[in-house]
Amino acid sequence: MNDDEPVLLHTEGHLLHITLNRPRALNALTHAMVRRIDEALTLAAGDDTVAAVVIRGAGDRGLCAGGDIRSIYEDARAGRRASVDFWRDEYRLNARIARFPKPYVALMDGIVMGGGVGVSAHGDVRIVTERSRVAMPETAIGFVPDVGGTYLLGAAPGELGTHLALTGRSVGAADAVLCGLADHFVPSHRLADLTTELARSAEPAGARNIVQRYATEAPEGELTEHRGWIDSCYAADTVEEIVDRLVDSGVPAAKETATELLGLSPTALKVTLASVRRARRLGGLEAVLDQEFRVSCRAFTGHDLVEGVRARIIDKDRTPRWSPANASGVTDAEVARHFEPLGDQELGLASA
């Protein structure tokens, strides 16, 4: 094991540890990291000495802040397609995690965003702590939730998933569990003891029982008290009507949310709303990942992704110039274009 490697692998007893090891970049995923994790899971699935896998992030700030956004920006600006190849392998990894035959334990401690959700929230044992902040913040950079995010958020109770998908807001432990993004709350100071005990168990079924013994009730969340206006406002058919309902609700928090939405990419908002609604009808994760791949490929060639990353990550002026600048300028045809088949470039997970 080389500490300079972006993904560290080591086996302790019957437990394979996968550690994302780019702490200064908040463990942001690169293509090489995705491939390394996929290779490790392939080997672990066929290794009878490995009873479970645990994934965590190096450092004390979080599991993973997402994909390497700067590299996607540079790739799009240069007219290259490396990002598309990255997404193809990343989404395949997300599907592999979801159907991994042994307990896949994700320590969602600290910041878990975007691609970090993809390598954790599709696992079958998902642990959050008092430090967890979980989000799919893509609309802030003119992008659309991917890595199976629309599948997860589409299945959240009521319209909570729609709210989180459009705003990109992060949630703590209790709300992550409420929305189906996590399963168990374990205080962060108990994670070391938990993984030590997992390593001792040779039976895959034992991993889930061990985690349940360490799990406790999470501190109270925030979303439950807002369910009334969230479910009512986000049930609207269009982004424009959602914003109108938020403004007219008489609830200060809802009005603040309307102002927030009006500052985000109108195209990303409309495509995100359609993505979440379509994901609910598609059913399986693989079909949703196929859809997200189409959307990501189309967003990659659009204006708002490059502009959003420029404003937030590159120049950091926080004044993106979206095109179109408002929701009324985003036509139904433009939204529908994001979902059109890619021909022989399809991801093809559902058909496989």
Q: Whole-angstrom Cα distance, residue 119 to residue 108? A: 10
Choose among 98, 96, 105, 101: nearest CA to 56: 105
Choose among 144, 153, 155, 164: nearest CA to 230: 164
Among the listed residues 115, 116, 168, 308, the single catalytic one is 115
Query: Is residue 67 among the annotated active site residues?
Result: yes
Distances (CA, A) of 194 to 94, 116, 128, 186, 201: 24, 21, 13, 9, 11
Query: Is residue 146 among the annotated active site residues?
Result: yes
Residues in the chain: 352
Among the listed residues 75, 90, 146, 175, the single catalytic one is 146
Query: Is residue 115 among the annotated active site residues?
Result: yes
In sequence order, which residues have a C-beta less than 8 Å from that of residue 248 and are 6 or more positions away?
Answer: none
In the sheet that holds 62-64, the strands lie side by side as 62-64, 111-113, 133-135
Spell 139-155 as b/e; 16+ CB within 10 A means b. Answer: bbbbbbbbbbbbbbbbb
Tokens in use for 106? Answer: 């994700």
Query: Is residue 175 among the annotated active site residues?
Result: no
Among the listed residues 138, 175, 292, 304, the single catalytic one is 138
Among the listed residues 57, 67, 168, 308, the single catalytic one is 67
Judged by DSSP in three states, 62 sits in: strand
- Residues with catalytic roles: 67, 115, 138, 146
